Chain A
Amino acid sequence: MKVSYFPGCTLKNKAKDLDEYARKSAEVLGITLEEIQDWQCCGGVFTTAKNEIATKLSSVRALKDAAAKEQPLVSVCSACHNVIKQTNHAMQTDSDFATKVNNYMAEESLYTGETQVYHYLEMLRDLVGFDALKEKVVNALSGKKIAAYYGCLLLRPNGVMQMDDPENPQIMENFIRAIGATPVLYAMRNECCGGYISMESPDLAANKSNAVVKNAVAAGADMIITACPLCKYNLIKNGAEIPVVYFTEVLAEALGVKEDTNE
């Protein structure tokens, strides 16, 4: 199966591990990630204002590209996924916005949100299936107690993202089970790490990140996984006492396409 793939700028630089192991694992699972040609940066955060058009055009271009190939659009970075899914939702539900966007892209065909947008985790759950994933695991991570860190962007706003119950999500926990490890439940898993405030107010980001890590450790975790480069940066920068890695790294490890996660 072939899907369109939007890596995003961070995955080409600081988050190469997130990208590389996503691709390698997908191949093992029988899915080819076809990188969108000439993709542009999603912008990092979705601007919720209805009259904000320009900053959403790059997402629409990627969505249209996937639509032309009749493929679902998959991204693995939480932020890219959030921006693209929210933009797609706006194209579906806000006709005024969609008209303005389509007018701007006058030379191309009309787009009204036809593309199916998946996060890589949703792809694992809905297109591959966690049971099928489990069968492909060659190096089960048994004994590892892993805390899933969702942060904000995967789950919210729930009305648009529709990934999982935003207060009691299961998708990453089920993923952890599928690769043979034990999920650790903790309440802070869907709270904010501080996000881009670490630029201006490092203390606040430290505060938020510490609360997340402390809660995960108190719950008995020996590792945290995330899908977001900024979450990972904030947690590590603020002195996480346990490893924080991308979920694609442990996935690749379980599938035997990566050596060891605890570098």
Chain B
Amino acid sequence: MNKNFIQEEILRSSGVNPKKCMKCGKCSATCPAYDEMEYHPHQFVSMVENGDIEPLMNSKSLYRCLSCFACIDRCPRSVQPAKLVEAVRLAVVRQQGKNHLTANDIPELIDDETPQQLLVSAFRKYTK
């Protein structure tokens, strides 16, 4: 897949303008999943801006964003990094047809109290 095409697609579907970023790192300072991520929110912004998207698409970091929107609210420049993470994740599950979670995995992962919301959210975030 053409590198520029993916970049454009990600920028378009996310609605994010990474050029607004002033590289303060507040998104990564506020991110609750930081330690689980190989690439951190501020890196998503600068790597997408530079068209360096391949490593992001291959990274587990895509599935670590909790959609807590803290980076969106606290960004002084209104960059909305979480929307970029989401757009790259969608590019992977759509274009590469990769499912990060299958129904077969579920029984092992749940307990008696697991709320439906958890299954639904996880499926939404991890699959096509």
Contacts and interface: CB of A to CB of B under 8 A. Distances in A.
A216 to B, nearest CB: 16
B38 to A, nearest CB: 13
Contacts, number: 135
Given A192-B70, A197-B36, A49 B90 contact: yes
Given A49-B87, A52-B90, A79-B121, A195 B66 contact: yes
Nearest to A161: B69
A168 to B, nearest CB: 12
Contacts of B29: none
B14 A49 contact: yes
B36 A204 contact: yes
Interface stretch (B18-26, B48-56, B109-117): B109-117
Which range holds the interface residue count of chain B? Answer: 35 or more
B117 A229 contact: yes
Which range holds the interface residue count of chain A? Answer: 35 or more
Interface of B: 12-15, 32-33, 35-36, 63-64, 66-70, 72-73, 80, 82-83, 86-87, 90, 101, 109, 111, 113-126
Given A13-B115, A44-B118, A45-B125, 6 more contacts: A41-B116, A44-B122, A47-B90, A152-B70, A233-B113, A237-B111
Interface of A: 8-10, 12-15, 41, 43-52, 55, 77, 79, 152, 155-158, 166-167, 191-192, 194-201, 204, 208, 228-230, 232-233, 236-237
